[in-house]
Amino acid sequence: MTDKVLIKARDLSVHYPLAKKNLFGPRPVVKAVEGVNMDIAKGSFFGLVGESGSGKTTLGRACLKAAPITRGSVVYEDEEVSYDLTTISKEELTDYRKRSQLIFQDPYAALSPRMTVRDIIAEPLEVMGLTKNREETDERVREIAAKCRLNLEHLRRFPHAFSGGQRQRISIARALVSRPHFVVADESVAALDVSIQADVLNLLKDIQTEMGLTFLFISHDLSVVAHVCDHVAVMYLGRLVESAPTRELFKAPRHPYTKALLSAIPSLDPDDTSVAQKLEGEIPSPTNPPPGCKFQTRCPFATDICRKEEPKLVHSSSAHEVACHHWQDLMEEA
């Protein structure tokens, strides 16, 4: 990992208008992502966590130019090119598609049952025109298949012959065969058995180190994120509420929401008597978010200022950011 930023999001918002409920009323809008500022360092394994409905997937897709950007910007910059995804041209977008890829969540739905594994992995090369002939395509397929622990016999089979973990390795191979620089892994182990998750996570980490990739790893499971990520950002109702290096976030969380999520992770220590902090209620509707801090309806520490004024994401240390009016008081009480 370097200090160079590969993906930079500034005031990023993604809104989805809904159908009007009546002729004269305003058109409701889902604010899936709202005012996000985020830097993903080149070569990092960046984790994005939060409950279902927090906007994680939409943010990841916006970084791939796969979701409409309502306001703000996302800039991709490496040694060769710099693209602002809000103003990117058609030709530049074609090139960006080669540099960025997505690993889907469900390995059972992501693979065509009518194609062999070889054809599934080769498809991006053929669609993007990245190889000159079949021999070169086959060579690239065999190369990435070996990295993903798939052998030549696997390449001749169809997806139905494989387990969930093997199918996810096929999906990973397909995403990486074009040799991208930036990869979004959207809940890529959530559909797998716990016994298989560790193997896939270790594979992703090994490949990331070997190929020098930058990952945006989206998950609702903080224990999974702790296993592979260098840096973690926490999302709630479309906003980032905390962002820090993984070790620092797990050791000294600043935001009440982050603390509640971490307290829900089961402990293997038989002497640990801590009690999980239960979050009451559900995430408010993104079409009608509460005023002030969006977490104030569920936060046990909320005060009048939380209900009136939305906190900004500020630095509590050089690499640790938090959006909470009372984070300093909560740290003193801890």
Residue 210 lies in a domain: no
Report d(CA 231, CA 112) in Å as an integer: 34
Residue 277 lies in a domain: yes
303: containing domain: 245-334
pTM of this prediction exceeds 0.85:
yes
Say how far residue 69 (Cα) sits from the centre of its chain. 17
Residue 120 lies in a domain: no
Residue 328 lies in a domain: yes
Report d(CA 247, CA 245) in Å as an integer: 6
* Tokens of residue 144, six digits: 């990435």
Phi, psi of 19 (to 5 degrees): -65, 145
Each residue's pLDDT expressed in tens, for the chain with a length of 334 residues = 667 999 999 999 999 998 877 777 778 899 999 999 999 999 999 999 999 889 999 999 999 999 999 999 999 999 999 999 999 999 999 999 999 999 998 888 999 999 999 999 999 999 999 999 999 999 999 999 999 999 999 999 999 999 999 999 999 999 999 999 999 999 998 888 888 899 999 999 999 999 999 999 999 989 899 989 999 999 999 999 999 999 999 999 999 999 999 987 766 555 555 656 777 777 888 888 999 999 999 999 999 999 999 999 999 888 999 999 999 888 876 5
Residue 207 lies in a domain: no
Q: Which residues contact 313 (CB under 8 A, 6 or more apart)?
A: 37, 240, 241, 243, 321, 322, 323
Q: Which residues contact 39 (CB under 8 A, 6 or more apart)?
A: 5, 7, 8, 9
Residue 221 lies in a domain: no
- Please count the structural domains in the chain: 1
Residue 276 lies in a domain: yes
Residue 154 lies in a domain: no
User: Which residue type occupies 179?
Assistant: R
